[in-house]
């Protein structure tokens, strides 16, 4: 039982976690690194459940003063034509661009052309939640210690149309939109050849990141990744939200309203590049209605639930071949506990799941307004970058090596279908 905001912290993992080697030659493993990185979880006792924690995010706060420079990338793959914006954390500047979020300005062509470097500083790539962007308070809290240390480079890949970025084609973002992060990681690997690359995703961004890491499998250029508040099984979370009054009439409504605002902001682009019924979208109330009218029309899914099943990242956990740390709250009212794939984490030695009994959705508010999740995120990243011999990591096979199927079959986690051989 939780007392006065003290949350229980639990770890779900393989019986044989991924072996790691420290730079001093001593041995450790992924579970030990995650456990050491995770402090006790003492939250604000006045915010004693997931609803209060989550709703407290609506309290207006300025958050850390993070400054960005933005550049626009043209998508390289024809099926996913369009542009996306990436915001790089930079030193404070006085540039003002009213078309962008606060403290954000564009790179000049000259400055961006010189951004490449052969330095060895670790670099963190961040993915935000639904309809968010680099300006989000939770995101700035998460990487503030890394920025303050002066030892890390940090950037945020904004979903198409988010954070005041333009929509330039009919190819939008969705919960499985891994193409832009894939292109950016490849670009970062070529532009900063000596930097170890890491990534963290929040909520919908965590789902996208998990799918991306699973799709890349052993070829993933990232050295490690973190998932925070991942909904994992979107069909499960959708049904859970719809069966409760707060879930449907607060969370589904708020998320649906946010997506309607995003659509209204890009109304001219939607009219130019898509065949969406904007009048009908304006009359929607809930997120699942928005997905029905937008995601099914845009991508050709027969129903929104088919989209949710296809975009879910639970099975992608099985395909991960890099050190992967997931952090979730059991009382999260949006990324609900029943959607967490506990057995998949047990089956994959390259992954560790940390769950807390309190925390809400991307909240984990402590007394004084700080957010607990900042510490396990930054502690894990610092440990992986400074203590672990990243070149010595040898991912191991997933699943149960002593289990032989009676039938001749093969399960591909990314196709989510059992194939008869």
Q: What tens digit of pLDDT does each residue of 296-327 get? A: 999 999 999 999 999 999 999 999 999 999 99
pLDDT digits (tens, 9 = 90+) for 345-366: 999 999 999 999 999 999 999 9
pLDDT digits (tens, 9 = 90+) for 379-413: 999 999 999 999 999 887 765 544 566 667 778 88
Cα 233 to Cα 311: distance, rounded to the nearest angstrom: 8
A 10 A CB-CB count for 276 gives 17
pLDDT digits (tens, 9 = 90+) for 10-55: 999 999 999 999 999 999 999 999 999 999 999 999 999 999 999 9
Catalytic residue among 128, 135, 266, 361: 361
Identify the pLDDT of residue 403: 56
pLDDT digits (tens, 9 = 90+) for 82-124: 999 999 999 999 998 999 999 999 999 999 999 999 999 999 9
The per-residue b/e assignment along 80-107, b for 16 or more CB within 10 angstroms, e otherwise, is: bebbbbbbbbbeeeeeeeeebbebbbbb
Residue that is written with structure tokens 């459940």 in the block: 49
Q: Report domain extents, the chain.
A: 6-233+312-420
- Closest by CA to 69, choosing from 46, 30, 95, 43, is 95
For the domain with range 6-233+312-420, which CATH number is right: 3.40.50.1820, 1.25.40.390, 3.40.50.720, 3.90.1150.10?
Answer: 3.40.50.1820
Q: What is the mean pLDDT of the chain?
A: 94
* Residue 6 annotated among the catalytic residues of the structure: no
CA distances from 228 to 52, 108, 127, 203, 225 (A): 19, 33, 10, 6, 10
Task: Say whether pLDDT at 227 is over 70.
Answer: yes
* Residue 14 annotated among the catalytic residues of the structure: no
Confidence of residue 78 (pLDDT cuts 50, 70, 90): confident
Q: What is the DSSP string of 308-335?
A: HHHH--TGGGGG--S-EEEEEETT-SSS
Identify the pLDDT of residue 416: 73
Point out which residues pair with 84 in neighbouring strands.
Answer: 73
How many residues does this entry show for the chain? Answer: 421
Q: Which helix (H) or strand (E) holds 21?
A: strand 19-21
pLDDT digits (tens, 9 = 90+) for 234-278: 999 999 999 999 999 999 999 999 999 999 999 999 999 999 999
pLDDT digits (tens, 9 = 90+) for 191-219: 999 999 999 999 999 999 999 999 999 99
Torsion of CA 361, 367, 370, 376, to 10 degrees: -70
Identify the pLDDT of residue 96: 86
CA distances from 223 to 26, 199, 244, 267, 341 (A): 19, 9, 40, 39, 23
At 417 the three-state DSSP class reads: strand
The beta strand positions in 254-398, using DSSP E, are: 324-329, 351-356
Catalytic residue among 266, 332, 357, 363: 332
Confidence of residue 420 (pLDDT cuts 50, 70, 90): low
Point out which residues pair with 412 in neighbouring strands.
Answer: 417
* Residue 219 annotated among the catalytic residues of the structure: no
pTM: 0.96
Catalytic residue among 203, 227, 313, 328: 203
Cα 250 to Cα 297: distance, rounded to the nearest angstrom: 25
The beta strand positions in 263-408, using DSSP E, are: 324-329, 351-356
- Closest by CA to 349, choosing from 8, 4, 113, 16, is 16
């Amino acid at each position: 039982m939780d007392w006065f905001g003290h949350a229980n912290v639990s770890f779900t993992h393989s019986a044989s976690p991924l072996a790691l080697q420290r730079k001093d030659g001593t041995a450790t493993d992924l579970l030990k690194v995650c456990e050491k990185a995770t402090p006790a979880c003492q939250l604000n006792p006045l915010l004693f459940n997931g609803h209060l924690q989550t709703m407290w995010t609506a309290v207006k706060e300025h958050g850390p003063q993070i400054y960005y420079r933005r550049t626009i990338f043209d998508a390289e793959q024809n099926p996913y034509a369009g542009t996306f914006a990436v915001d790089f954390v930079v030193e404070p500047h006085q540039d003002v661009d009213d078309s962008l979020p606060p403290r954000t300005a564009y790179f000049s062509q000259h400055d961006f052309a010189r951004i490449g470097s052969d330095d060895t500083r670790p670099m963190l790539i961040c993915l935000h939640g639904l309809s968010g962007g680099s300006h989000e308070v939770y995101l700035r809290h998460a990487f503030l210690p890394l920025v303050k240390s002066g030892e890390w480079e940090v950037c945020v890949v904004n979903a198409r149309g988010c954070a005041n970025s333009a929509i330039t084609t009919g190819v939008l973002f969705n919960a499985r939109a891994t193409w832009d992060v894939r292109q950016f990681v490849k670009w970062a690997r070529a532009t900063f050849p000596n930097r170890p690359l890491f990534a963290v995703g929040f909520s919908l961004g965590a789902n996208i990141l998990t799918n991306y890491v699973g799709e890349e499998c052993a070829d993933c250029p990232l050295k490690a990744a973190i998932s925070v508040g991942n909904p994992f099984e979107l069909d499960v979370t959708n049904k859970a939200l719809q069966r409760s009054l707060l879930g449907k009439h607060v969370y589904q409504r708020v998320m649906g309203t946010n997506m309607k605002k995003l659509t209204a902001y890009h109304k001219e682009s939607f009219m130019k590049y898509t065949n969406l019924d904007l009048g009908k979208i304006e009359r929607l109330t809930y997120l699942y209605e928005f997905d029905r009218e937008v995601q099914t029309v845009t991508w050709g899914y027969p129903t929104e639930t088919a989209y949710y099943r296809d975009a879910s990242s639970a099975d992608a956990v099985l395909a991960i071949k890099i050190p992967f740390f997931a952090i979730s709250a059991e009382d999260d009212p949006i990324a609900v506990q029943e959607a967490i794939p506990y057995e998949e984490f047990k089956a994959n030695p390259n992954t560790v799941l940390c769950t807390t009994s309190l925390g809400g959705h991307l909240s984990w508010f402590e007394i004084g307004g700080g957010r607990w999740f900042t510490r396990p995120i930054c502690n894990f990243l610092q440990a992986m970058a400074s203590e672990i011999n990243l070149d010595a990591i040898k991912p191991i096979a997933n699943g149960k090596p002593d289990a032989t199927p009676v039938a001749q079959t093969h399960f591909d986690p990314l196709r989510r279908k059992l194939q008869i051989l």
